[in-house]
A and B are shown apart, each in its own frame.
Chain A
């Protein structure tokens, strides 16, 4: 546990120290929130929902923030590989499992903080948190998204040689995961083929869970979302740990 803590601590220190990264990675979610939220709020009528579009996408944007930060934190071990720091960790008498867990917890923590900042900023543009209980539910889902997608990033990083493939991963994996998740539109009104795609996307269950926590309504039963997301998290952590154990430096 000491080792996991040491690696977690390093991640948090690096995160808190890079102010530009904190602010930089808030940019895109805020942009989406403001442009889409204000732009479409008056023209979009969500069928069967009493809330406005702005309120609808806030949970989506929060999960977007958590998603991007966590994948990026996971993929960061490529930098450690390239700049040699990973050697320092690998030559120490610690298991790779401990290193991977520390990295995952660190990434999930920073991702949660980024999502939380968006959540707080949203309070100024129309988010009403109905209950502490609901807020806690949303937090649980944010943590799960953070854990699963940091592990996802580590899994990818273990297979990658350098950062060249990063754009590829962003454009063809991460954006589709975000786009198909129902973060920006209600999944019930989608054509059947598209709806089934969103239902395979694990992030959908995260978005729906957060939405339930923040607004009290969701299109997927929150308990079901919880079970699916926990399953996905366990799967990703196991896969990430397996691939990281095999990675060469």
Chain B
């Protein structure tokens, strides 16, 4: 068993009656890493997590989790992982302690070990005082923290977090990020998280893979990915986007320019020098500019660069997503 590689995915594919949710994906995660799967809704992140946690059988390909093959050694994989699902999976009628206790029993943790560990973990996520409260009374953030604590109870080697901060307020998100970092540092747990918040990935992850339409289109450390884009990014909002785009395209110092919905992004070096030039250019051509901003590339720009879309531009309406989810569930 290779101790250095926590997860190794090779040519993994999931096909739901003709809809390819995960398309021939390969990657590997080192032990002790925080690895982020980035992408818009419907990119295949949750399907990927479901396969790696043995809830879905892959159509083809293979994956090793903590040295166990997902399709032939389900119980080996299950013993090695903790999962925090995107949708809540607590029993709302039970107390926080009882939810933990149930989990401990499922993983056959002996009573004396179980009791101590539950209290220790509830302390870690600051829910110890609430341990005898019914989960129904908990806020979204408290539930998430409880789920994370529960996922750690059986001391997994690998922790899956599927959209851990979805729908939480900024303060709670920050709080959770601190926990996740602490867990990774202090307990050495390998963490694989999915998110469509680019700042979350940037802040937490040692390495990220950008997923789009079932494929991984880029994978590296957040820093490297941003460096690859290089220099600066100028974003110009204008109602005459196309005209602006065709003018800027001809400039020699522009590395890359792309039109988007109501704005144009330009990748270039030394943006400070050239921004005046752009302003003059558009003034001379009678193009109205609403705003110009210069910033260092973010993962958002990286995503934009690789997919040609912003993560928010995603075509799928919420109805489509519901339909998709429904389809995935029916699998």
Contacts and interface: CB of A to CB of B under 8 A. Distances in A.
Interface of A: 2-3, 5-6, 9-10, 13-14, 17-18, 83-94, 161, 248-249
A233 B232 CA distance: 71
Contacts of A2: 105, 108
B116 interface: no
A248 B17 CA distance: 15
Contacts of B55: 87, 90-91, 249
B102 A10 contact: yes
B66 interface: no
B149 to A, nearest CB: 13
B91 A91 contact: no
A88 B94 contact: no
Contacts of A14: 91, 93-94
Contacts of A94: 106
A10 B331 contact: no
B155 interface: no
B85 A6 contact: no
Contact of B329 (A18, A88, A248): A248
A249 B150 CA distance: 21
Given A13-B94, A13-B98, A93-B79, A87 B85 contact: yes
A84 B93 contact: no
Given A6-B105, A94-B106, A248-B329, A83 B92 contact: yes
Contacts of A85: 89-91
Interface in B50-67: 53-55
Secondary structure at the A interface, as helix, strand, loop or mixed, is helix
A248 B330 CA distance: 7
Given A84-B87, A249-B329, A93 B78 contact: yes
B329 A84 contact: no
A92 B80 CA distance: 10
Given A93-B75, A248-B329, A84 B106 contact: no
A3 to B, nearest CB: 6
10 contacts: A6-B102, A10-B102, A13-B93, A83-B92, A84-B85, A85-B90, A88-B103, A92-B78, A93-B78, A249-B329
Interface string B318-331: 00000000000111
B210 to A, nearest CB: 26
Interface in B86-127: 87-94, 98, 102-103, 105-108
Given A6-B105, A10-B102, A14-B93, A91 B53 contact: yes
| Most chain A beta-carbon neighbours within 10 Å: one of B55, B78, B83, B102 | B102
A10 B88 contact: no
A91 B98 contact: no
Contacts of B103: 88, 92
A3 B104 CA distance: 10
A21 to B, nearest CB: 10
A84 B135 CA distance: 14
| Most chain A beta-carbon neighbours within 10 Å: one of B105, B107, B331 | B105
Given A89-B106, A91-B83, 12 more contacts: A3-B106, A6-B102, A10-B98, A14-B91, A14-B93, A86-B89, A87-B87, A91-B54, A92-B78, A92-B106, A93-B74, A93-B78
What 3 A-B pairs are tightest by C-beta distance, nearest first? A6-B105, A84-B89, A93-B78
Contacts of A249: 55, 329
Contacts of A88: 85, 89-90, 103, 150
Contacts of A161: 330
A14 B94 CA distance: 7
A92 B88 CA distance: 16
Contacts of B78: 91-93
A83 B331 CA distance: 18
